[in-house]
Amino acid sequence: RLCYPPVARHRRAPAESASEVTRARVGVARASGGKRRPVLITGATGTLGRALARACRARGLACELLARAEMDIADARSVADALDAYAPWVVVNAAGYVRVDDAEREPEKCERENTAGAATLARECARRRGRVALVTFSSDLVFDGEKRKPYVETDAPAPLNVYGRTKLAAEREVLREMPTALVVRTSAFFGPWDEYNFVTLALQTLARGERFAAADDETVSPTYVPDLAHATLDLLLDGERGLWHLANAGETTWAELARRAAALFGYDPRLIDARPSRDFARPATRPRYTALASARASIMPTLEDALRRYARDCEHLPRARAAAARAGD
């Protein structure tokens, strides 16, 4: 392991889950021919899938990163065929429908990718009776935002939009089909390797000399994707199961997050236009507060630390600004 101390503390159950945990901890399970069994990652075109593959390679873990053409997670035959072909010791599901507003217009498609897909993976992994573990991801949008302190795993979910409802249904279906699965709730991705996350888009807008508008009445816990990938692998290798919250420690509004990023890169934070969420025409209702924390263990670095490493590693920002940010580290 690279990043975090062990966190496994709960009592192990039963023979089947103990078998999974043993395989997860060693991470070098062998197929009958002696070849290392890989981590099988779905979502090859997505930010999280690619980050997980990077994290596996950094740890020397064999992995296979699959696109939908190679495994359709909502098709039981496709999943079974892929599990037979690749013989993984774990499936990490980073695929799914992520367009929160579009989900209001196409709920069936969102349900297929987020709920049916995750449930199908759980069912097929469970059929292998402890030989294949499963990790899947959920969202802070399973909550309604009525709390004013960070949500933990035991808080009651109450989603306000289609996307959140499909994620909550997926959580329940996965844990019903496979109680030993690991389900990770997370929030508000940003990362150094893609240019379509909120922080990078804000900085690219400022780099063009334009103002950037962001909501000042929605509070989130932004999550640095490399930290999420490594923490997820750590939980997996520790044999953790059930619901976990993983987000960088801290909370902020979207507007404040943009200001902090602007200041870090040498832009004027006053170029950020803080607006109420009602000013943004979005079909999906957003909760006002979805900061996340964990009642199980705190294993993620702070948001401040994550933003500094983002500035150091970001691949999609003007070189001069990025160099200035790195110099200030």
- Give pLDDT tens digits for 283-303: 999 999 999 999 999 999 999
Q: What per-residue confidence (pLDDT) applies to 228?
A: 97
Here the tokens at position 125 are: 């992994």
Q: What per-residue confidence (pLDDT) applies to 16?
A: 38
Q: What per-residue confidence (pLDDT) applies to 77?
A: 97
Residue 324 has pLDDT above 80, yes or no: no
DSSP letters, 48-112, are HHHHHHHHHHHTT--EEEE-TTT--TT-HHHHHHHHHHH--SEEEE--S---TTGGGT-HHHHHI
What is the pLDDT of the chain when averaged over all its residues?
88
163 is catalytic: yes
Here the tokens at position 150 are: 């960070």
- Amino acid type, 92: V
DSSP letters, 223-261, are EEHHHHHHHHHHHHHTT--EEEE---B--EEHHHHHHHH
Residue 1 has pLDDT above 90, yes or no: no
**Under 8 Å CB-to-CB from 127, ≥6 apart: which residues?**
none
DSSP letter at 30? Answer: B
Q: What per-residue confidence (pLDDT) applies to 36?
A: 85
Cβ-based burial of 107 (10 A; exposed 0-12, middle 13-18, buried ≥19)? middle
**C-alpha separations of 151 from 21, 48, 125, 219 in Å:** 27, 22, 29, 12
- Amino acid type, 155: D
3-state helix vs strand vs coil in the chain, percent to 5: 40, 15, 45
**Under 8 Å CB-to-CB from 293, ≥6 apart: which residues?**
150, 151, 152, 221, 245, 247, 249
- Give pLDDT tens digits for 179-212: 999 999 999 999 998 888 999 999 999 999 999 9
Residue 121 has pLDDT above 70, yes or no: yes
- Give pLDDT tens digits for 9-30: 433 333 334 344 444 444 445 5
Percent of the chain with pLDDT over 70: 85
**Under 8 Å CB-to-CB from 139, ≥6 apart: which residues?**
163, 164, 167, 185, 186, 187
- Amino acid type, 250: G
Residue 311: closest CA among 251, 239, 262, 259: 262
Least confident of 35-39, 174-178, 236-240, 285-289: 35-39
Predicted TM-score of the model (pTM): 0.88
Set 4, 163, 224, 267: catalytic member: 163
Residue 141 has pLDDT above 80, yes or no: yes
Q: What per-residue confidence (pLDDT) applies to 32?
A: 52
Residue 75: closest CA among 135, 119, 110: 119
